[in-house]
């Protein structure tokens, strides 16, 4: 009987060693779901702060969320590539217009392991810096966000357009 004692103890150790990968396997899908929930929560928090910076004309806060290699594709002009050129572009924008309201409608967020997309429609009230009546634009937008190694999200690409019909050419 005493002869069997040592092997039994060792087998018990093996049992525990076997249990570990089984437990890891069983819980890995739960852990992955938890990771995705955390990723989504961080994405929602980040994009909310980003849009709030835009609403309050706060360029410094806005660019905290922008990747160095970001680019925007505004309508009716060339794309703006890189964080520094984007700063100049937004500075020019702010010298012409101040945002008074920005409402996001039919917003969708698609969060994946490395990239996240936000899209929807906007209603944007802009007050001309030179004075005069506010301008209201309505349109669509789509943004790509890039996950960083530390788990945070940075703004990477955006395109938008206006839903307002173009003025019909007047007959001469």
Nearer to a copy of itself, 51 or 157 (CB): 157
Binding residue (CB under 8 A) for a copy of itself from 25, 131, 132, 149: 25
Beta-sheet pairing, 153-162 with 135-147: antiparallel
Query: 55 with 101: CB under 8 angstroms?
Result: yes
Binding residue (CB under 8 A) for a copy of itself from 132, 133, 165, 171: 165
Using only the alpha carbons of the chain, give its radius of gyration.
Answer: 26
d(CA 118, CA 79): 19
Contact set for a copy of itself, span 75-94 (CB under 8 A): 75-79
Show the site string, 97-116: x = touches a copy of itself by CB under 8 A, - = not.
---------x-x-x-xxxx-
Segment near a copy of itself (CB under 8 A); pick from 47-55, 61-69, 123-131, 164-172:
164-172
Q: How many residues does the chain have?
A: 172
Query: 70 with 157: CB under 8 angstroms?
Result: yes
Query: Which candidate, 56, 146, 151, places its Cα nearest to that of 98?
Result: 56
d(CA 43, CA 107): 13
Contact set for a copy of itself, span 45-74 (CB under 8 A): 73-74
Which residues bind to a copy of itself, rule: CB under 8 A? 3-4, 7, 10-11, 14, 17-18, 21, 25, 73-79, 106, 108, 110, 112-115, 117, 119, 121, 139-142, 144, 157, 159-166
């Amino acid at each position: 009987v005493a002869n069997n004692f040592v092997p039994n103890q060792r087998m018990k150790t093996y049992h525990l060693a076997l249990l570990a990968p089984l437990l890891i396997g069983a819980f890995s899908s739960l852990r992955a779901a938890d990771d995705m929930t955390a990723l989504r929560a961080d994405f929602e928090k980040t994009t909310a702060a980003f849009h709030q910076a835009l609403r309050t004309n706060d360029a410094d806060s806005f660019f905290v969320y922008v990747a160095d290699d970001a680019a925007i594709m505004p309508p009716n002009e060339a794309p703006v590539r890189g964080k520094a050129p984007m700063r100049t572009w937004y500075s020019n924008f702010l010298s012409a217009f101040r945002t008074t309201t920005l409402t996001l409608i039919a917003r969708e967020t698609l969060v994946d392991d490395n990239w996240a997309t936000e899209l929807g429609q906007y209603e944007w009230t802009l007050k001309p810096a030179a004075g005069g009546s506010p301008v209201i634009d309505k349109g669509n937008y789509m943004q790509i966000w890039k996950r960083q190694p530390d788990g945070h999200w940075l703004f990477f690409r955006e395109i938008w357009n206006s839903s307002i019909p173009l003025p019909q050419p007047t007959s001469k």
